[in-house]
Amino acid sequence: MSLSNPIVEKPRVLVVDDEEVIRTLLTSFFKKDGRFEVDTAEDGRKGLEALNQETYSVVISDLQMPNMAGIPFIRALRRAHPDIPVIVFTGFGEFDDAIEALRLGAVNFLRKPSDLQNVISAVGKALELSRPHENRRQVFSWAQSMTSELWIPPLISKKNSCLQFLVEPLVPMNLVTPGEVKNVILSLDEILNNAIIYGALGIDSAIRDEPQGHTRFQEAIRECEAIPENLAKRIKIDAVYGRDEAVFTITDPGNGFDSENLPDPTDPENLMREHGRGLLLVQCFMDKIEFNDPGNSVTITKKRNQPETSQFLEDSD
């Protein structure tokens, strides 16, 4: 007797955009990739109708659309489906809407049209961040306080397992809602990326502004990760969990930087730069960010949401 292989359902992506050419282009991207199913909707109202009829793993939404634009659509989506990661498309001149989308829970934004080719990798990252964390949930729910200390090698491939470990206690300890976990992961991911790439591997961020900068930057990471001296380095992560807040401190072995001269994350020009969005994401998602004096250690804090805060957000809708 032969046994047939079980059918594994592909992640289903919903693309919400009023431009038919964008919907068609993204559909072709996903079909060519082969790992995803894709549906489309022409505005926010149609998007909500689709969400009521089908289960989606990721939603991609434009911000400027007729009938129901991106912001009210995301607000309604987060109420009904808080665990679905949302990626937004933003154009020049839509800075305020992009910030609002992040505050509402969007996990990332892509520039249109220049970032369209990055949509597959962005969806893959969103799916990676949204996987459920089931282990030890009950034990975490009993904890009043916890601490963890990690010393990790500067390898991008080892990063995701560390991120999942760090956020695992947050929901059981009632520090964040399930829908907020992705925001904390994205913040930790940004800080840890910087610690690995700039602090431990010593790569110059200016490479990303060069022609073919993204490709050259990835090549530089692979080259530097292969250097034995770099592999001997370690990045320290301290995590302190309490009933009112979680505090994460990431310290790299580099020389640091002058945190006083960081680019203004609220400047639209920095928002649109390839590497100008990290600090903005952290400030949107976390309650506090602090740098030590040498600039090689960053501490970010996530406070437990209070009931009155949630009520205020609902009232302000």
Q: 101 Cβ partners below 8 Å, 6+ apart? A: 63, 70, 71, 74, 86, 88, 90, 109
Q: Does any domain span residue 250?
A: yes
DSSP 65: -
Please give the pLDDT value at position 1: 40
Domain range enclosing 36: 12-129
Q: Please, are residues 289 and 299 in contact by the beta-carbon 8 Å criterion?
A: yes
Q: Does any domain span residue 57?
A: yes
pLDDT at 136 over 60: yes
The CATH number assigned to the domain holding 260 equals 3.30.565.10
- Mean pLDDT across the stretch 54-72? 92
Q: Does any domain span residue 3?
A: no
Tokens of 54: 């089908």
Number of domains composing the chain: 2
Grade residue 273 by pLDDT with cuts at 50, 70 and 90. Answer: low
Same domain for 107 and 193, yes or no, is no
Q: Does any domain span residue 5?
A: no
Same domain for 305 and 192, yes or no, is yes
The residue out of 129, 148, 177 marking a domain boundary is 129
Same domain for 172 and 243, yes or no, is yes
The CATH number assigned to the domain holding 85 equals 3.40.50.2300
Average pLDDT, rounded, for the chain: 84
Q: Does any domain span residue 62?
A: yes
Same domain for 307 and 158, yes or no, is yes
pLDDT digits (tens, 9 = 90+) for 197-222: 999 999 988 887 778 877 888 899 99
pLDDT digits (tens, 9 = 90+) for 275-298: 556 777 888 889 999 999 888 999
pLDDT at 146 over 90: yes
pLDDT at 316 over 50: no
Same domain for 296 and 189, yes or no, is yes
The residue out of 108, 129, 150 marking a domain boundary is 129
Please give the pLDDT value at position 134: 43
Same domain for 204 and 300, yes or no, is yes
Q: Does any domain span residue 271?
A: yes
Q: Does any domain span residue 213?
A: yes
Q: 86 Cβ partners below 8 Å, 6+ apart? A: 58, 59, 60, 61, 74, 77, 78, 101, 105, 106, 107
Please give the pLDDT value at position 309: 42
Q: At 242, which amino acid appears?
A: G
- Mean pLDDT lowest among 86-90, 94-98, 299-303: 94-98
Same domain for 102 and 195, yes or no, is no
- Mean pLDDT across the stretch 228-252? 96
Same domain for 112 and 144, yes or no, is no
Please give the pLDDT value at position 5: 45
Q: Could you give the count of Cα atoms lying within 13 Å of 57 in the half-sphere of its Cβ?
A: 20
pTM, 2 dp: 0.61
**In the beta sheet, which residues pair with residue 37?**
12
Same domain for 101 and 205, yes or no, is no
Q: Does any domain span residue 28?
A: yes
Same domain for 153 and 291, yes or no, is yes
Same domain for 159 and 287, yes or no, is yes
Is residue 293 packed enough to be buried (19+ CB in 10 Å), middle (13-18) or exposed (0-12)?
exposed
The residue out of 129, 152, 182 marking a domain boundary is 129
Same domain for 156 and 88, yes or no, is no
